[in-house]
Structure 1
Amino acid sequence: MIYKKFKELQLSTLGMGNMRLPVLKTETESHIDKEKAQQIIDYAMANGVNYYDTAYSYHNGESEIFLGEALKKYERESYYIATKFNINSNPDYKAVFKEQLHRLQTDYIDFYLIHALSDNTMQRYIEEGSVDYFIEQKKAGKIKHLGFSTHASINTFEKFLEYTDWDFTQIQLNYFDWLYSHTKEEYDILKKRNLPIIVMEPVRGGRLVSLSEMAELKLKKAHPDWSMASWAFRWIKRLSSVVVVLSGMSDINQIKENIETFSDELFLTDQEEALLFDACHTFKKEVSVPCTSCRYCCNDCPVEIDIPEYLNIYNKYRTDGRWYAINALKKAESKGKPQDCIACGVCTSLCPQDIDVKSVMKELAELQQ
């Protein structure tokens, strides 16, 4: 495992994300598959991963509880916990923080984040007192390092950076967003400030694990034994300001492959980066909506549409054709259907990718007519 220095610490460059743990599903609900998830944690610990990321709302609140149980058999100094406060999940920041310490079975949090900064939440985080409260918790030793994750505009991002002396930031960083979003601008701002970066969505919620046939062909020709995920990770390894790359690994094979990728110093050459960008341009032509399946849009949908499921169908429809979509729509298990969408726009207001969901639902509904 490669390690990078963060102040006095040595952090594993691969971090374990706990938003997409394996689950056991029933007809009405799903819960973390604790046995399989524990195997993943144990493998990570045995192979040098020491950064574990979670949040108050992940897996409907089960993620922090599971992680506290999974890590308690290890020496507390052998790992670092990162968790977050999201004002939209529960605005009572004092109660949330107290509960998080209890869930995680710890007296302190190593890396604490203001969660999912957006243009709509920045003022609330500041004016309602949560940021100042967490600054005080840091002074008291209950938080070791304070940062924030962001899905905000560059203007909001820079304003929030000025509010206090942050220890780190967490940004969505992958080669797709580097080319087509404002990720590169965010990175350059942080690099200029010498602010360490934790990477989220390095493969865009799994979207970059499998590319279009033509895009993959270009990359496989150069390195037949590299997976699409390893291309994404090796590109990020070029970036000197990145300290930890989070990966939400949901099975043992994923973590084995990722640990192998982060066990050497190999990163893309300039020529390989140019090839990856060319493949990405090819891929983008076949990608319609950049959903990462974060599910922030789901809880407030008034007609209970499983929006990520239908966005995935939509993307496949754009690459595989109408008949695929018609068959997939028939099999979808969502309570709400595209034709039930009332175009209220709540989902888009909560979407970090700013996807025009109502238009997608309209198009899918028309496919079934």
Structure 2
Amino acid sequence: MERYLGEKIPKLGFGLMRLPQKDGQIDLEQTKAMVDRFLEEGFCYFDTAYGYGDGASEQAIKAALVDRYPRDRFLLATKLPAWAGAKTKEEAEQMLETSLQRTGAGHFDFYLLHNLGESRTHYFDDYDIWSFLAKKKEEGIIKHLGFSMHDKAEELDRILTAHPEMEFVQLQINYADWEDPAIESRKCYEVARKHGKPIIIMEPVKGGILADPSDQVLQLFQQEDPKASPSSWAIRFAASLDGVITVLSGMSNLEQMEDNLSYMKDFQPMTEREREITEKARKIFEAVPTVPCTSCAYCMKDCPASIAIYGTFQAINLYKTFENLEMAKGKYSWNTDGQGKAKASACIQCGRCEKVCPQHIHIREELKKAAAVLEG
């Protein structure tokens, strides 16, 4: 008898956001081969979204999975981003119908309100997507209803308190972010557990960063187990947590999939010794000097230029810690343009932000430094 929703689902899920590419398009033949291997080893959970590749991901999984296998052979999840261009309630609701048409799935085993938090949650409230999807669940189009989010624990607690009908949550959890004050992986995990919600884990390898960690972290892992890949440490850390439905890995080629299958097909939770090693790795990342921003946002309340101050510091700290400029610039673009905020270079040097910063950060100076790196 299951103790929680999804307990018996294999602990590795196929994230479909970063599918293999060929000539600028999704490589459908390699995607089919990956789907075949995934199912062959007994895994079944596939995760896509309305917005992945502007719909290309949903279309690809129709061709690679839905059209080629019986519907009861797999579990399919997708997501509705009411904040992504929907001008009316009807346009937001249409996203579900569009996903059904693209995938040909007939129903979704897991369906998510996509990326709640920050300035996005109100769209789901304004359009009453909660009630709309609850009705679709009653109709059988949705089997299990939940949401994903990349916000703080306090906001997660607020949403789960307001919407106890949500059956599960999808959270960014990995060992590097476990104690990060900007992400609060551990705190978010604990809030979900407090509310009795099982968890689908995304970004266990932090967008690929933890697959290629610093030399110091790599050496730490290799000394403990020369055969284990850095990704295996990250994914097994996440999969070893209690109350986890599955851990999504955004696999982009067969090599990544084979590596993941090698240690997840007979998954064994981490030992105490292995947990200690991942904690040492986390502390190595934590020791890198970064801007000591806690994302309190006091600095932004009276900023005349409407600069994404803490969003800028999130991005530059990502670069400082993991030395991945492409990833940092992507985060910077999302935190500025993606949120309707100005870039660091727009600072007019008024100094209002520094007067209210609890961490006493030299914000103007740090914004200059960040702009030189992230806008170059």
TM range (shorter): 0.7 to 0.9
Alignment of 1:18-57 (within 5 A): 18-25=16-23, 30-57=24-51
Amino acid in the other structure paired with 2:95: V
Amino acid in the other structure paired with 2:60: F
Inter-partner Cα distance in structure 2 for 1:279 and 1:99? 43
Q: 1:251-281 CA deviation, whole Å, 9 max, x = no partner?
A: 1011111112112242322232122211222
Q: 1:187-224 CA deviation, whole Å, 9 max, x = no partner?
A: 11222222110000001000111111112112211111
* Partner residue, 2:68: 73
Tell me if the contact between 1:15 and 1:53 (Cα under 8 Å) persists in the aligned partners.
yes
Higher alpha-carbon deviation: 50-59 or 234-243:
234-243
Tell me if the contact between 2:153 and 2:191 (Cα under 8 Å) persists in the aligned partners.
no
Inter-partner Cα distance in structure 2 for 1:136 and 1:195? 21
Alignment of 1:60-209 (within 5 A): 60-71=54-65, 72-91=67-86, 92-164=91-163, 165-180=165-180, 181-209=183-211
Amino acid in the other structure paired with 2:77: A
* Partner residue, 1:212: 214
The answer to whether structure 1 residue 11 and structure 2 residue 15 are counterparts is no
Tell me if the contact between 1:345 and 1:357 (Cα under 8 Å) persists in the aligned partners.
no
Amino acid in the other structure paired with 1:33: D
With over 3 angstroms needed to count, the CA separation of the structure-2 counterparts of 1:38 and 1:267, relative to structure 1, is same
Amino acid in the other structure paired with 2:150: H
Amino acid in the other structure paired with 1:20: R
Inter-partner Cα distance in structure 2 for 1:356 and 1:139? 47
Tell me if the contact between 1:14 and 1:245 (Cα under 8 Å) persists in the aligned partners.
yes
Tell me if the contact between 1:288 and 1:318 (Cα under 8 Å) persists in the aligned partners.
no
Alignment of 1:254-265 (within 5 A): 254-265=256-267
RMSD: 3.3
Amino acid in the other structure paired with 2:204: P
Tell me if the contact between 2:113 and 2:147 (Cα under 8 Å) persists in the aligned partners.
yes
Structure 2 residue runs without a partner (length 5+): 292-314, 347-366
| TM-score under structure 2 length normalisation | 0.76
Amino acid in the other structure paired with 1:176: A
Higher alpha-carbon deviation: 246-255 or 264-273:
264-273
Q: 1:100-131 CA deviation, whole Å, 9 max, x = no partner?
A: 11111022111000001112122221122212
SS of residue paired to 1:96: helix
Tell me if the contact between 1:287 and 1:318 (Cα under 8 Å) persists in the aligned partners.
no
Tell me if the contact between 1:5 and 1:11 (Cα under 8 Å) persists in the aligned partners.
no
Tell me if the contact between 2:290 and 2:321 (Cα under 8 Å) persists in the aligned partners.
no
With over 3 angstroms needed to count, the CA separation of the structure-2 counterparts of 1:43 and 1:206, relative to structure 1, is same
* Partner residue, 2:355: none
* Partner residue, 1:306: none
Tell me if the contact between 2:80 and 2:114 (Cα under 8 Å) persists in the aligned partners.
yes
Tell me if the contact between 2:7 and 2:243 (Cα under 8 Å) persists in the aligned partners.
no
SS of residue paired to 1:115: strand
How far apart are 1:240 and its partner, in Å? 1.3
How many residues of Structure 1 are paired with residues of Structure 2 in the alignment?
320
Amino acid in the other structure paired with 1:143: I
Inter-partner Cα distance in structure 1 for 2:9 and 2:45? 7
Q: 1:115-157 CA deviation, whole Å, 9 max, x = no partner?
A: 0111212222112221211111001111110000011222221
SS of residue paired to 1:177: coil
Inter-partner Cα distance in structure 2 for 1:81 and 1:103? 13
* Partner residue, 2:274: 272
SS of residue paired to 1:102: helix
Q: 1:33-72 CA deviation, whole Å, 9 max, x = no partner?
A: 1111111111111111111000011012100011111112
Inter-partner Cα distance in structure 1 for 2:321 and 2:155? 35
Inter-partner Cα distance in structure 1 for 2:334 and 2:216? 37
| TM-score under structure 1 length normalisation | 0.77
With over 3 angstroms needed to count, the CA separation of the structure-2 counterparts of 1:264 and 1:58, relative to structure 1, is same
Amino acid in the other structure paired with 1:11: I
